[in-house]
Amino acid sequence: MSEALRMSNIVKRFGSLTALDNAELIVNKGEIHSLLGENGAGKTTLMKILYGIHPKDEGEICLNGTLCQINSPKEAINAGISMVFQHFMLVDNLSVMENIILGKEETKWGILSYKKSREKVMELSHKLGLKVRPDMLVEDIPVGEKQRVEIIKALYRGAETIILDEPTAVLTPPEVAELFEMLKALKNEGKTIIIITHKLKETLAIADNVTVLRNGKNMGTISTKKATPEILAQMMVGRSVILQAVKEPTVKGPVVLEAKDLCLQDALKNINFTLKKGEILGVAGVEGNGQTELLEALTGLVTPDMGSIYLKGEDITKHSVKQRIREGIGFIPEDRNDRGIVPSFCNWQNAILGYQSNYQNRGVLDFKKINAVSKEILDTYQVKTEGIAAKTASLSGGNAQKLLLGRVFYHDSDVLVIAHPTRGVDVGAIEYLHKEILNMAKRGKAILLVSADLDEIRQLSDRIVVLYEGSLVYETQALSTTEKELGMYMAGAFNKDESKVVGL
């Protein structure tokens, strides 16, 4: 197999930070190559250098054996490289067709010739089974289709090498399977594919070879035939990682949290669930199926149109956010930086946020107490930081999440509502966060876990419910279900009449 791409000794600095430290990547022609690493390992930076977005400080790029200078996306495209970004680069209010041709329009004296472009697009679409609807506005199509549009966009530009940045982050399990089929079809066409990912399972499922980056350094390239999740995780993190959270059976007590017929506009339809002491209830589902609204209703940010919420038998539907916190519900919101913490605040401020009334004397903050408590939280929950006075914005995702978790766990609520606890968090930190969550259940807390990550849900939960288009469409014991089964319900691929009615 010949070499499609060789990036050697790539160095990239952002100010005082060295993002890439002599990174190396060799990709063979016609293979699927996974670029694996934790957040901040430099995967995306390396690919942005290849795509001409970031200039490199040192190093060489060879394409098909010849040394190349790539200084802009235009030059990358001309060299046959295309990149599909994690956040799709699509213009929402233009049609699928317009998005595909943008920048490489078929024209006659500058006037667009849609007919010619359409033939080309449809040909690509048919040849590779990439179904798209050319006249739909991009804002009206589902994510899976957006991704197909991005891939066609790349092929339309004659890409030989296609880079996909975290392509599965927004997809449901069936969509991931579909994506992998498409990638295999592209590989059979002779295209070279690089996927950036931090998911071990996906790497092993799709890639031929995998290159692992850690702290901007190359940790080696190995064939996936020889790799196991444990080997890859060790290469990523630098120590052995327990990938499977160990869940011990917990003692379940009486019901502490109960939702009855919760309805909120179109977003929530008759939500019923109960949550027992010592139990973890996982809410699975593709994002945008009502998770946000459910969380807001439980937090008290919105009042449901109908239905009630009971905490230990007391109706708290009309209680404010503050009241609910006092009554013993701890919240870990879904968007860490938006609602969980204030990044521009210091660690000590974030450590008591929402609980500040516990730390005051006649309206004046009691700093002695605050300092002691915030230090304790940082220590107990292993937050790596310069101290309580450091800005939280300087923390990595994993450490910020530990701080947030620490704040809520420290203040000892009976019920914990936890949303996406490991989103944007590294493998090593995930291990720790999972352990802590399980620990809380063991201590008799009732936990509602909302997550888009099926593995997480399955590993941590006792019971799992699936949220689809605002309804809980399925309920099962975590031990007696499969990923495939849950994936089907998450994607809405079930017969609505036969779906098991939820409501206890």
Residues in contact with another protein by CB under 8 A are 48, 51, 53-54, 72-78, 83, 85, 89-94, 98-99, 101-105, 107, 110-112, 153, 157
Nearer to another protein, 48 or 148 (CB): 48
Nearest distance from residue 197's CB to another protein, in Å?
A: 18
Nearer to another protein, 107 or 265 (CB): 107
Nearer to another protein, 83 or 311 (CB): 83
Name the β-bridge partners of 476.
464
Question: ∠51-53-54 over CA atoms, to 5°?
Answer: 110
Whether 347 contacts 374, CB under 8 Å: yes
Q: Could you give the CA distance from residue 447 to residue 249 in angstroms, rounded to a whole number?
A: 14
Nearest distance from residue 53's CB to another protein, in Å?
A: 6
Q: Among all chains, which residue has been given the structure tokens 């309206």? A: 363
Name the β-bridge partners of 66.
63
- Of 165, 159, 222, nearest to 186 by C-alpha is 159
Whether 418 contacts 449, CB under 8 Å: yes
Nearer to another protein, 110 or 363 (CB): 110
Nearest distance from residue 101's CB to another protein, in Å?
A: 8
Whether 84 contacts 154, CB under 8 Å: yes
Nearest distance from residue 23's CB to another protein, in Å?
A: 18
Nearer to another protein, 305 or 338 (CB): 338
Nearer to another protein, 114 or 345 (CB): 114
Nearest distance from residue 161's CB to another protein, in Å?
A: 15
- Residues written for the chain: 504
Nearest distance from residue 102's CB to another protein, in Å?
A: 6
Whether 172 contacts 488, CB under 8 Å: no
Nearest distance from residue 54's CB to another protein, in Å?
A: 7
Which residues are CB-contacts of 172 (< 8 A; sequence separation ≥ 6)?
A: 144, 286, 487, 490, 491
Nearer to another protein, 157 or 336 (CB): 157
Distances, alpha carbon 197 to alpha carbons 22, 119, 186, 298, 399, in Å:
20, 34, 19, 33, 20
Structural element, H or E, at residue 297: helix 291-299
Nearest distance from residue 39's CB to another protein, in Å?
A: 12
Q: Could you give the CA distance from residue 429 to residue 426 in angstroms, rounded to a whole number?
A: 5
Nearest distance from residue 93's CB to another protein, in Å?
A: 6
Which residues are CB-contacts of 4 (< 8 A; sequence separation ≥ 6)?
A: 27, 28, 29, 30, 63, 64, 160, 161, 192
Nearer to another protein, 74 or 484 (CB): 74
Q: Could you give the CA distance from residue 1 to residue 398 in angstroms, rounded to a whole number?
A: 39
Nearer to another protein, 139 or 379 (CB): 139
Tell me which amino acid residue 6 is.
R
